[in-house]
Amino acid sequence: MREPRWFQWVRGVGLCLLTLFTVIPLYVMVTTSVKPLSDVQDTFQWLPSALTLEPYVDMWSTVRLADYFVNSAVVSLGAAAFSVLIALFAAYAISRYRFRGRDAFRFTVLSTQMFPGILFLLPLYLIYATVGQATGIVLQGSHIGLIITYLTFSLPFSIWMLVSYFDSIPVDLDEAAYIDGAGPVQTLWRVVIPAAKPGIAAVSIYAFMTAWGETLFASIMTDSDSTTLAIGLRDYSTQSTVYWNEVMSASLVVSIPVVLGFLALQRYLVQGLTAGAVK
């Protein structure tokens, strides 16, 4: 069936508008990052009067960007690692075993995604304060505390997605491993996990990206020593001025790890997200 001409025009205009909506902010970010500070403090100009790379050099000394980068890397990698590790065992048990409360557990895991993150902010803060007073273990303002916080909303989605992927892997592979003398843990590590690399990659990217750019919990659960990049970028704004060119240059540098990780694992990500959709 041939598409009507009016539909082709509407589609073309819509795609052009969406492209402009995506490209214009990136253009402004890139051009602002190579402008002198005097240019960004005056009336906005689409074309810079001069090009300079000083913002990419000065951004490291204006604020403690390197420390923020390390904090974000530790928290994001830790959240992704623990999320994948815990989700693997939980999803495998749900997918392969039938036990009392299995369906209720699956529903509970999925239903947690309905609640906004701010709903957990005050309870987690009070729990951390209580644990610190009772045991002396400092969770507030620490890396491990922020990792645990991010697990509360990345882990349920990770479990749910890996369950769908494990369901698409034939149970015959498990049974063949059992015949060869492998136990449940050996079957998981030597048979299921190699076949589930796309799903694991998708979960890893999701958990990492969620922690890397999160601001709500990081603004409350961190102190000056554990501040992450998403919160540290606001330090470019002072009482006297805002270093917009350094803000944009830092934002571009901050996005590099996520972009590179996504490009490297994008084929696994697509496979992992669509796994279990068709059986």
Q: pLDDT digit string (tens) for 1-21? A: 677 788 888 888 999 999 999
Kindly state the tokens that stand for 138: 């400092």
pLDDT digits (tens, 9 = 90+) for 161-195: 888 888 888 888 888 888 888 888 888 888 888 88
Phi and psi, residue 67, nearest 5°: -65, -40
Pick the closest to residue 224 from 129, 136, 141 (CA basis): 141
Query: Residue 237: which H helix or E strand, with range?
Result: none
Gap between the Cα atoms of 74 and 66, Å rounded? 12
3-class SS of residue 242: strand
> Which residues does 71 contact at the CB level (< 8 Å), separation at least 6?
143, 222, 226, 227, 228, 229
Report whether 80 contacts 207 (CB < 8 A).
Answer: yes
**Choice among 110-114, 207-211, 261-265, 274-278 with the minimum mean pLDDT:** 274-278
Residue 74 confidence (pLDDT) above 60: yes
Residue 275 has a pLDDT of: 54
Ranges of beta strands (E only) in 70-113 are none
Residue 264 confidence (pLDDT) above 80: no
Residue 109 has a pLDDT of: 80
Gap between the Cα atoms of 186 and 9, Å rounded? 57
Gap between the Cα atoms of 226 and 228, Å rounded? 6
pLDDT digits (tens, 9 = 90+) for 230-255: 898 888 888 888 888 899 999 999 88
Residue 49 has a pLDDT of: 81
pLDDT digits (tens, 9 = 90+) for 194-220: 888 888 888 888 889 889 988 889 988
* Residue at 10: amino acid letter: V
Report whether 166 contacts 152 (CB < 8 A).
Answer: no
Report whether 229 contacts 69 (CB < 8 A).
Answer: yes
Residue 274 has a pLDDT of: 53
Phi and psi, residue 237, nearest 5°: -100, 120
End-to-end CA distance of the chain: 29
Report whether 88 contacts 201 (CB < 8 A).
Answer: no
Give the chain's mean pLDDT: 85
**Total number of residues shown for the chain:** 279
Report whether 231 contacts 146 (CB < 8 A).
Answer: no
Q: How far is CA 68 from CA 33, 51, 53, 254, in A?
A: 19, 27, 21, 10
Phi and psi, residue 273, nearest 5°: -70, -30
Domains of the chain: residue spans and CATH: 61-278 (1.10.3720.10)
Q: What is the pTM for the complete model shown?
A: 0.83
3-class SS of residue 222: coil
Residue 119 confidence (pLDDT) above 90: no
Q: What share of the chain is helix, strand, coil (3-state, %, to 5)?
A: 75, 0, 25
